[in-house]
Amino acid sequence: MEFPLPKRSTKYSAGYDFALIEDVLIPAGKIRSGKTGIKAFMQDDEVLKVYPRSSLARKYQLTLSNNVGVVDKDYYNNPDNDGHILISLRNFGETDIMLRKGERV
């Protein structure tokens, strides 16, 4: 499966954009997770934080279901998720939203 690696959109971007590797339908008022195809190894004193792109709320009425995603060191190669980073999104709008493969979240 082909998918883009996280990257900064511009020279001055504060963080890296993750893209979905498959289509995800998020019904109005519901929470769904999208796969990124990304694993991240961290040292003992590190953590990966995931924030939503500002355009998700403005364009689609979506936000992260837990406000800020925290990926701990022990998430990597965890047998429950294979270490695969999922982006959990909540649709606070009144219509279903379809995010397409390659959409940056």
pLDDT per position as a tens digit, 51-65: 988 889 999 999 999
pLDDT at 80 over 80: no
What are the percentages of helix, strand and coil residues in the chain, rounded to 5? 10, 30, 60
64: phi then psi, degrees, rounded to nearest 5 = -65, 140
pTM over 0.75: yes
Q: Look at 16-25, 55-64, 77-86 and tell me which has the smallest mean pLDDT.
A: 77-86
Length of the chain: 105
Mean pLDDT score, 95-101: 96
pLDDT band at 1 (very low <50, low <70, confident <90, very high): low
